[in-house]
Amino acid sequence: MEIVCPAGTPAALRAAVKAGAHTIYCGFADETNARNFPGLNFDREEMQEGVRFAHSHGSKVLVAINTFPRAGAEDIWHRAVADAETAGADAVILADLGLLAYAAENHPNLRRHLSVQAAAANADMINFYAEAFGVKRVVLPRVLSVPEIAAINAETDVETEVFVFGGLCVMAEGRCSLSSYATGKSPNMNGVCSPPSHVEYREEGTDLDARLGGYVIHRVAQGEPAPYPTLCKGCFSAEAKTGHLFEDPVSLNAEQLMPQLKKAGVTALKIEGRQRSRSYVAQVVKNFRAATDALEAGLPMPEGMLARLSEGQAVTTGAYKKTWR
Amino acid sequence: MELTVGPNQFFWAADDWLKLYRDLVTAPVTRVVLGEVVCSKRLPFFQDRIPEAVELLQDAGKEVALTSLALVTLKRERKMTAALAEMGVEIEINDLSALAHIPQGTAFSVGPLVNVYNESTLGWLANRGATRVCLPPELPLESVAALAEVGAKTGVKIEVWGHGRLPLAVSGRCYHARHHNRPKDNCQFACEDDPDGLEVKTLEDQPFLVINGIQTLSDSYASAAHQIETLQDAGVSALRLSPQSGDFAGLCGLYRQRLDGDLDGAGLEAALHAGWPKARLSDGFLKGARGADWSGASQLA
């Protein structure tokens, strides 16, 4: 199986390539991609250089252009697709219908992957994207179990890529406007979710409150580690109950499910974290590369190797095991 | 501008569900979209009432469309979506997988849960047979205006979320079931007890969201009360009103008065507060720094 690794900076790209990444995904430094954070991503020259470096080491580069183009400003996204092709990218990762149609028509030789932001959660939808826009690979939304993924693979020729490590969206990706409701900034339109610009920590007596857009969604005693107030992982109350009503603040680690995912017909394993440091990326990549190599060689999987990288956070196998079904 | 009633997002008992549509027979709305959009498990409880509702409304001269499910993952749900296409009623797609079942050349409409953010997407859907698109509620007025212009050129009617709790997210997971410590497959239909959703408050007890099965909505009721003239000038064809408990047909009447110029923005705002005293309002997605903002004069605490 192919390991698809995040790179938020040219340095992270080089680190991931050296650590053994088969494939890198990254984006331009603007609103065209879903990790539009200050100080992250690639300018045009860095992208060209990054692709050259990756190719010289036998790695591929995928360019994520996976926000939904703004009406009246589509040319920004069109330029991104053109520049990805010029840079020599091996594929673009797209989510918007209109942008897929544009890329298929104007850049027919540039391979198209369907972003997780398109939330294609069944074979009908995946086959629709393949027929309409020649999509060759789909990144599956994080709402599916392993048997559901196997069922999808049985009904489509489109390659499937699944997230195995890192941050975890609990809502169907690309179909969530919780962040823009609270802050005005959304994943779909701005490439950000629960942005730091709208986060505020405030001491209230002996507590430390974390606010997002003014809403208090975390409270810890002072001195305790305060989690980042991501909306869907916040703490809320309903009726007499207070807690993580949507999802606990966990991150995904499906490392131990790799053999099942392989059996389910998955082509590529994706690691989340373009906002992460290069040393983090290098370590995760190294571990996952070792695990895939072991898997391909029929050797037992190394055990629990990534626990310390989850930064003391609880980890989950997400929907793949679907204990809540 | 026309008024469209969107599908009821919540789970109501079959009798209450049918009563909503009986009441709409005499309401001043042009179009009604009905069916189940949130959870496939709810459908069997009112499925047998759908033909009666469709007939009632069609006999009253209303256009009727059936919604597809918002999130289709199970085999059963794919079959349901395929079966929709054979009911002889126009389909409003709220998930692109429904397109797989609509033959090329058959007209359909597009609901607010499909991502139509720009001209190219709208153009592609128009080409594929879309005759009407209700835009995602997240879109600001500038985008609405740009898309209404394309709609006018391509013959696609553009609809805007006019009133109702905002559909903010869908998930594979059921939050009603999670709240009651039940697995999704044994949810015991907890969502039926909350006809307008289960209120979710912040740690400061501030009303914020509501849970509705796998869906999360805003606590506030979005209202385009103060944006009607701007939407009319932009060439928007219709305003969508989303069902809520209470006198919903009366609410449709208030919006009709607003469109006809018999009520101004402040008048509609006052009437909404009088009829639904606990309902907070918002219009920040259309015009504001964030979705939850309200441009009106009054706001409840």
- Tens-digit pLDDT profile for residues A198-252: 999 999 899 999 999 999 999 999 888 888 899 999 999 999 999 999 988 788 8
pLDDT tops 60 at residue A312: no
Whether A21 and A160 map to the same domain: the answer is yes
Shortest distance between the Cα of A183 and any Cα of chain B, in A, equals: 5
- Chain B, 106 to 125: residues with Cβ < 8 Å from chain A are 113, 115-125
Q: What is the pLDDT of residue A303?
A: 67
Of B291, B290, B269, B265, nearest to B279 (Cα)?
B269
Whether A21 and A144 map to the same domain: the answer is yes
- Chain B, 56 to 75: residues with Cβ < 8 Å from chain A are 70-73, 75
Residue A173 lies in a domain: no
pLDDT range class, residue B258, cuts 50, 70, 90: very high
Chain B residues whose beta carbon lies within 8 Å of the beta carbon of residue A123: 78
Of B198, B221, B222, nearest to B278 (Cα)?
B221
Within a 10 A sphere around the Cβ of B27, how many other Cβ atoms?
Answer: 21
Q: What is the pLDDT of residue B299?
A: 63
Whether A14 and A95 map to the same domain: the answer is yes
| Cα A317 from Cα B3, distance rounded (Å) | 45
pLDDT tops 90 at residue B233: yes
Whether A200 and A286 map to the same domain: the answer is no
| Cα B298 from Cα B5, distance rounded (Å) | 26
For residue range B154-193, list pLDDT tens digits in order.
999 999 999 999 999 999 889 999 999 998 888 999 999 9
CATH number at residue A88: 3.20.20.70
Domain carrying residue A224:
178-243
Chain A residues whose beta carbon lies within 8 Å of the beta carbon of residue B184: 324-325
Q: Could you tell me if B114 and B130 are in contact, meaning their C-beta atoms sit under 8 angstroms apart?
A: no
Whether A117 and A76 map to the same domain: the answer is yes
Examine the fold and report which residue of A193, A225, A243 is the final residue of a domain before the chain moves on: A243
Are B142 and A239 in contact (CB < 8 Å)?
no
Of B241, B231, B301, B228, nearest to B267 (Cα)?
B228
- Kindly state the average pLDDT of the residues B118-132: 97
Whether A99 and A222 map to the same domain: the answer is no
Whether A6 and A106 map to the same domain: the answer is yes
Q: What is the pLDDT of residue A317?
A: 77
Chain A residues whose beta carbon lies within 8 Å of the beta carbon of residue B200: 236-238, 245
- Give the contacts of B22 (CB within 8 A, at least 6 positions apart): B56
Are A218 and B171 in contact (CB < 8 Å)?
no
- Please state which of the ranges A254-258, A289-293, B209-213 shows the lowest mean pLDDT: A254-258
- Decide if B178 touches A, using CB distance below 8 A: yes
Are A182 and B147 in contact (CB < 8 Å)?
no
What's the CATH number for B2-166+219-282?
3.20.20.70
| Cα A246 from Cα A309, distance rounded (Å) | 24
Whether A50 and A107 map to the same domain: the answer is yes
Please give the residue of chain A at the shortest CA–CA distance from B285. A181
Whether A155 and A213 map to the same domain: the answer is no
Q: What is the pLDDT of residue B30?
A: 98
Chain A residues whose beta carbon lies within 8 Å of the beta carbon of residue B156: none
Q: Which amino acid, A105? A: E
Whether A297 and A149 map to the same domain: the answer is yes
- Decide if A216 touches B, using CB distance below 8 A: yes
pLDDT range class, residue B301, cuts 50, 70, 90: very low
The count of structural domains within chain A is 2
Are B202 and A236 in contact (CB < 8 Å)?
yes
Are B119 and A74 in contact (CB < 8 Å)?
yes
Q: What is the mean pLDDT of chain B?
A: 95
Chain B residues whose beta carbon lies within 8 Å of the beta carbon of residue A180: 138, 285, 290-291
Are B201 and A236 in contact (CB < 8 Å)?
yes
Shortest distance between the Cα of A277 and any Cα of chain B, in A, equals: 30
For residue range B28-80, list pLDDT tens digits in order.
999 999 999 999 999 999 999 999 999 999 999 999 999 999 999 888 999 99
Of B55, B84, B89, nearest to B69 (Cα)?
B84
Residue A223 lies in a domain: yes
- Give the contacts of A304 (CB within 8 A, at least 6 positions apart): none
Strand pairing of A171-176 and B157-171? Answer: antiparallel
- Kindly state the average pLDDT of the residues A72-92: 98
Q: What is the pLDDT of residue A308?
A: 57
Q: What is the pLDDT of residue A296?
A: 92
Q: What is the pLDDT of residue A60?
A: 98
Residues forming beta bridges with residue A93, ordered by sequence position? A64, A113
3-state helix, strand, coil in chain B (%, to 5): 35, 20, 40
Whether A95 and A31 map to the same domain: the answer is yes
Please give the residue of chain B at the shortest CA–CA distance from A100. B121
- Decide if B173 touches A, using CB distance below 8 A: yes
Are A319 and B290 in contact (CB < 8 Å)?
no
Are B138 and A215 in contact (CB < 8 Å)?
no
Residue in B117, B168, B289 closest to A176 by CB: B168
For residue range A169-200, list pLDDT tens digits in order.
889 999 999 999 999 999 999 999 999 999 99
Whether A196 and A239 map to the same domain: the answer is yes
Shortest distance between the Cα of A159 and any Cα of chain B, in A, equals: 18
Q: Note the ipTM here.
A: 0.96
Examine the fold and report which residue of A222, A243, A264 is the final residue of a domain before the chain moves on: A243
Are B200 and A245 in contact (CB < 8 Å)?
yes
Shortest distance between the Cα of B179 and any Cα of chain A, in A, equals: 7
Q: What is the pLDDT of residue A304?
A: 60
Examine the fold and report which residue of A188, A214, A243 is the final residue of a domain before the chain moves on: A243
Domain boundaries, chain B: 2-166+219-282
> Which residue blocks in A239-277 are alpha helix, DSSP H?
258-263
Q: What is the pLDDT of residue A224?
A: 86
For residue range A128-144, list pLDDT tens digits in order.
999 999 999 999 988 78
Chain B residues whose beta carbon lies within 8 Å of the beta carbon of residue A177: 136-138, 166, 168-169, 285, 291
Q: Which amino acid, A56? A: S
- Chain A, 264 to 293: residues with Cβ < 8 Å from chain B are none
Please give the residue of chain B at the shortest CA–CA distance from A74. B118
